[in-house]
């Protein structure tokens, strides 16, 4: 990589793109620009227009080494965009995915005015914070079993001035019967034995946020608990994994929910909307 002298952003981009290409990263140039722009505290557009800028060598090198070891870029930079906003992410919370925006869109279009909503398994808080920012009428609670995750969720809520409350507990533990009008959740839905799971995801992201027995065990527990906690009518909106639509529909139906299944932009069933009408 670049030797120990002051070098320009253009030189760094060339060196990083080459190193990231050799490491078989998916988007070497894009990631090089993201990293150097982050160190300089500027946008990628500004960086491209100012190739003569000189980022601190040690800062760039340290972040580049982390990425070359396979650490996800979101953790390296400490941030990830979701629904048009930048959120803090760190090891210990799942990195937000674009497909989760489908869950948010489903909730925004279906939640009745002034609904009491819990984002269960909130992690970094991107779902609940986004709902609160997009719909100021909603009363949103961010809930997680992990105190470390809730700390990051609180940081994101404060960062975006979102009016939300917080709750620590396992799934719906601590919520009173009939205390919620809606529940949204992106819970662990990966079977630990899944041979298609990306090695980088398995290595770096928190197993507690990824894995569930059979892929649906945690979701099954939440659905069973939701029957008492939700009002009637009530909404339960869930993200699930590839190939799980039939299982999720059966779980919801068994617990008295009417079910709609929504697909992501690739046409893959991704979100279940369960409705209890009494």
**pLDDT tens across 15-65, in order?**
999 999 999 999 999 999 999 999 999 999 999 999 999 999 999 999 999
Q: Locate the domains of the chain by residue range.
A: 9-69, 83-276
Q: Which residue has the higher pLDDT, 152 or 92?
A: 152
Bridge partners, 119 (sequence order):
142, 184
Separation of alpha carbons 212 and 234, rounded Å: 25
Torsion of CA 80, 173, 236, 146, to 10 degrees: 10
Q: Which residue has the higher pLDDT, 103 or 6?
A: 103
Q: Of the given ranges (159-163, 204-208, 209-213, 252-256), which has the lowest mean pLDDT? A: 209-213
Separation of alpha carbons 158 and 207, rounded Å: 27
State residue 207's pLDDT score.
Answer: 79
Of 99, 81, 94, nearest to 262 by C-alpha is 99
Mean pLDDT computed over 10-14: 97
Distance linking the first and last C-alpha atoms of the chain: 64
State residue 132's pLDDT score.
Answer: 98
**pLDDT tens across 166-219, in order?**
999 999 999 999 999 999 999 987 877 777 677 777 788 787 877 768 879 999
State residue 278's pLDDT score.
Answer: 66
Neighbours of 84 (CB within 10 A): 9
Q: Is 20 exposed, middle or buried (0-12, 13-18, 19+ CB in 10 A)?
A: buried
Q: Does domain 83-276 have CATH number 3.40.50.150?
A: yes
State residue 204's pLDDT score.
Answer: 82
Separation of alpha carbons 101 and 127, rounded Å: 8
Whether pLDDT at 258 is above 60? yes
Identify the residue whose tokens are 């008295």. 256
**pLDDT tens across 105-115, in order?**
999 999 999 99
Question: pTM value?
Answer: 0.91
Mean pLDDT computed over 53-82: 96
State residue 210's pLDDT score.
Answer: 75
State residue 5's pLDDT score.
Answer: 67
**Residue-averaged pLDDT of the chain:** 94
Mean pLDDT computed over 256-260: 97
Q: What is the 3-state secondary structure (H, E, C) of the chain?
A: CCCCCCCCHHHHHHHHHHHHHHCCCCCHHHHHHHHHHHHHCCCHHHHHHCCCCCCCHHHHHHHHHHHHCCCCHHHHHCEEEECCEEEECCCCCCCCCCCHHHHHHHHHHHCCCCCEEEEECCCCCHHHHHHHHHCCCCEEEEEECCHHHHHHHHHHHHHCCCCEEEEECCCCCCCCCCCEEEEEECCCCECCCCCCCCHHHHHHCCHHHHECHHHCHHHHHHHHHHHHHEEEEEEEEEECCCCCHHHHHHHHHHCCCEEEEEECCCCCEEEEEEEECC
**pLDDT tens across 108-149, in order?**
999 999 999 999 999 999 999 999 999 999 999 999 999 999
Separation of alpha carbons 82 and 214, rounded Å: 28
């Amino acid at each position: 990589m670049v030797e120990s002298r002051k070098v320009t952003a253009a030189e760094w981009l060339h060196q990083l793109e080459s190193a990231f290409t050799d490491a078989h990263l998916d988007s070497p140039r894009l990631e090089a620009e993201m990293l150097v722009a982050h160190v300089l505290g500027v946008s990628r557009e500004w960086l491209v227009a100012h190739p003569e800028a000189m980022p601190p060598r040690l800062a760039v090198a340290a972040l580049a080494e982390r990425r070359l070891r396979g650490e996800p870029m979101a953790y390296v930079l400490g941030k990830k965009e979701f629904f048009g906003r930048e959120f803090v992410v760190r090891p210990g919370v799942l990195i937000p995915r674009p497909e989760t925006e489908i869950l948010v869109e489903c909730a925004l279009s279906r939640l009745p005015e002034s609904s009491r909503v819990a984002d269960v398994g909130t992690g970094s808080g991107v779902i609940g914070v986004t709902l609160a920012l997009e719909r100021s009428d909603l009363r949103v609670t961010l809930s997680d079993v992990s105190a470390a995750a809730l700390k990051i969720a609180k940081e994101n809520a404060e960062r975006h001035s979102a009016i939300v409350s917080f709750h620590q507990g396992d799934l719906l533990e601590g919520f009173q019967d009939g205390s919620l009008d809606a529940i949204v959740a992106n819970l662990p839905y990966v079977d630990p034995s899944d041979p298609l799971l990306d090695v980088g995801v398995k290595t770096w992201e928190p197993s507690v946020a990824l894995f569930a027995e059979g892929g649906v065990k945690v979701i099954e527990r939440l659905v069973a608990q939701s029957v008492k906690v939700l009002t009637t009518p009530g909404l339960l909106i869930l993200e699930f994994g590839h190939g799980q639509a039939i299982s999720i529909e059966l779980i919801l139906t068994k617990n008295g929910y009417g079910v709609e299944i929504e697909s992501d932009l690739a046409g893959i069933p991704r979100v279940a909307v369960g409705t209890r009408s009494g």
